[in-house]
Amino acid sequence: MSLEGIYDEGNVFALILAGKIPSTPIYEDAHTYAFLDIQPQSKGHALVISKWSKARNILEIEPEALCQVMASVQKVATAIRKAFDPDGIHVAQFNGAPAGQTVFHLHVHIVPRWEGDAPGFSVHGQGGFADADALRALAQEIRAQL
């Protein structure tokens, strides 16, 4: 998919926000929602999205919404650091399918990293889906640090 297009109200993150499919929440405020990735790159891999912007990528998002998302990214990354004490935190955002974007609702990945982890991102689906109970336990550890 190119960088141009029309926002799809049926994308997975829009459906999560509408309460039509489940997610494992970490943090929510009036403008943003953070939850655990169901195909995590590492323990505690989280996503942050805008609750009101219909931007598909960083080129389309309203500056106000981008500021709100990034403030939440910082808050969640800090909680992840306190919860799991990773050696590093990978923050990533992809724009367009050739860049690795698979869901066309702007989102930011927060991926805890430890020495010895392979750098970068693997293709979604390669690692499979996380266990729902394990995700809930991880989310509880992160929320306790907020």
- The structural domains of the chain, ordered by start, are 25-143 (3.30.428.10)
Helices then strands, each counted (H, E), the chain: 3, 5
Residue 31 annotated among the catalytic residues of the structure: no
Q: What is the pTM of this model?
A: 0.95
Give me the pLDDT at residue 33, please. 98
Q: Which of 45, 90, 105, 107 is catalytic?
A: 107
Collapsing DSSP states into helix, strand and coil, what is residue 49?
A: strand
Strands 32-36, 107-113: parallel, antiparallel or unpaired by DSSP?
unpaired
Residues 6+ apart with CB under 8 A from 82: 145
Distance CA 76, CA 18 (A): 22
**How does DSSP classify residue 15?**
H
Phi, then psi, of 121 in degrees rounded to 5:
-115, 140
Contact present, 17 and 51 (Cβ < 8 Å):
yes
What tens-digit pLDDT sequence spans the chain (146 residues)?
A: 579 999 999 999 999 999 999 999 999 999 999 999 999 999 999 999 999 999 999 999 999 999 999 999 999 999 999 999 999 999 999 999 999 999 999 999 999 999 998 877 776 656 689 999 999 999 999 999 99
